[in-house]
Chains A and B, each alone.
Chain A
């Protein structure tokens, strides 16, 4: 049995190498690393609102250093036009008048009061910091988690289907029906190849983008979640590849999953936009598992139990579909 598994494992590896699968993974790793380190970190910044003050008589003597003084009303209009989030303060007529471009109602209210507060000396105390991450660490962890999820879903799902369709086309499944090997080995070797390649992808992605020290600390938890996600996606990919007629039909399913399944999950998990129904979305829980691993949050045992249950169920379904396929081909 062990020997048979080794032979199948080697054959699957060779197929992935000839399909330029590993080359593609390395290419995407490089692309993502460049994107995170040179692009994402830079534009994920949001400085406080700029406050512009027009005060020809110099009445505002206690103003904060964050206030930018403009020489004329025209200069203030121009500044606000190019920076629509900024707030203008006009002190030319004695009482201070606030000028701002319309945005969301609550935000406008805060912008106006914030700008006025900068004209008085600062009296408050600094906010208490209760978390452990800096904004950069958070941004790095968040984007790495998103990219890993996207890539695992894409690579596991698309890759396994591509390999299986190729084998289907070559008649390998037919040959398997008469080989003196256990039928599960065919499926297990595929799962093992994809699991190992996903794990090998997750390690450098995490270390290069989260940072070596931070990354090493969370790596065991991340790898555990990667294993769960990789197995689920590979099994779903296998199931689709066995049930669907050709690769073309499969890409349709893939496109649907990528757009309609992943987008609401990303929105709900990463922003303050929360959908009421997101709890019923199976991808949401898997994604949150991965995200919690990156942020070191505890994960409930119920999630693990559910994940194991789903993996076993999927495996049984795949085995059934595989046996049906063998019956059809034989």
Chain B
């Protein structure tokens, strides 16, 4: 217990560890309360027109579909359409009808919208008469924001990894690692102390983040807690590996950067592309994949999938633990 006290003391003194602890919480607060990033505008149509080219009623009609910006000259209009970061559709009058212009590098959805806009304009009377039934979306979170929040939570869960790795590397640099070897401390005590430090902080960080981002029922919260606890445990173990493997702080930072990149990229790419079959099994080798999948399942209320992901994470926990104990033993005998 005394050893654990020293471990906690050393972590609390380390600004890097504290910063990594606070970072996901800060991002979660920013995401939740600032709300300045309106991702729904990403799929919106944007139109640009020439000043005094279209009648006012046509502009009002266009504004039903998205914001309209007027430009003074033909060159300015062309530059706005060509601007690569936007998907602006240029609209010009063509007798009673409309003519559209695009830069040609837009996604299919915007090019199709530009191609059909004149037809929509001609049929605007019919369209106004049609009955439209709007259904509420089945998922709680908007698609993009859900992925964003889950990614932040993954970062928080895997903070334990950074904690442990930095902790062990700084021990190595200060020479404490050598002292540890002659202290009357068994390998299991050492593993316990190190895992607990990373695990505690990783769990705490993700719990606070989860409380800020999600409003879940008690049952779902229990499942989320299980996901957090298990993935923090796995992350803490991975942190031990990184700490032991890296020779210096610089190499440690590089390893952490790579691991973090893989942890965040794999689940996001899987979620965007939609993996299936053997590929899903391979992706599940990265522990952040079941964690991410579990959070997404919980946010859509899919309890069965969440329980399956908890199972996969439990297997991860056991596997990583056994691997570390074996490796540590081999290292000790050498």
Listed in ascending order, the chain A residues whose CB lies under 8 Å from chain B are 19-20, 24, 31, 35, 39, 42-49, 80-81, 84, 95-104, 106-110, 112-114, 116-118, 120, 122-135, 137-138, 141-142, 158, 162, 166, 247-249, 251-252, 255, 259, 267, 269-273, 275, 291, 295
Contact = CB atoms under 8 A, between A and B. Distances in A.
B181 interface: no
B46 A272 contact: yes
B124 to A, nearest CB: 8
B41 interface: yes
A110 B66 contact: yes
A130 B120 CA distance: 22
Contacts of A48: 108-109, 112-113
Contact of A104 (B44, B122, B170): B44
B282 to A, nearest CB: 14
B103 interface: yes
A274 to B, nearest CB: 9
B101 interface: yes
Contacts of A295: 84
Q: Which are the 6 A-B pairs with shortest beta-carbon distances? A: A131-B103, A124-B118, A138-B105, A48-B112, A129-B104, A104-B40
B131 A95 contact: yes
A117 B135 contact: no
Interface centre among B37, B43, B124, B251 (most CB of A within 10 A): B43
14 contacts: A39-B273, A43-B272, A46-B107, A81-B138, A96-B130, A101-B136, A102-B134, A113-B120, A113-B127, A116-B127, A124-B118, A125-B118, A127-B117, A135-B106
A80 B137 CA distance: 10
Contacts of B119: 117, 120, 122-124
B130 A47 contact: no
B204 to A, nearest CB: 19
Interface residues of B, number: 79
Given A109-B64, A247-B250, A252 B19 contact: yes
A104 B15 CA distance: 42
Nearest to B108: A47
B89 A127 contact: yes
Nearest to B106: A135
Given A45-B108, A47-B108, A99-B135, A127 B101 contact: yes
Given A47-B108, A48-B108, A102 B136 contact: yes
Contacts of A138: 84, 105
B20 to A, nearest CB: 8
B236 to A, nearest CB: 20
Contacts of A44: 107
B254 A98 contact: no
B104 A130 contact: yes
Contact of B127 (A39, A42, A106, A117): A117
Most buried by B among A24, A110, A158, A255: A110
A142 B101 contact: no
A112 B127 contact: yes
A133 B130 contact: no
B78 interface: yes
Contact of A126 (B15, B110, B115): B115
B300 to A, nearest CB: 11
Contacts of B105: 131, 133-135, 137-138
A139 B29 CA distance: 32
A291 to B, nearest CB: 7
A52 to B, nearest CB: 13
A106 B250 contact: no
Contacts of B89: 127
B133 interface: yes
Given A101-B137, A104-B41, A20 B107 contact: no
Given A97-B133, A106-B64, A248-B15, 7 more contacts: A100-B134, A101-B137, A107-B66, A112-B132, A142-B84, A248-B249, A272-B44
A43 B23 CA distance: 29
A222 B86 CA distance: 22
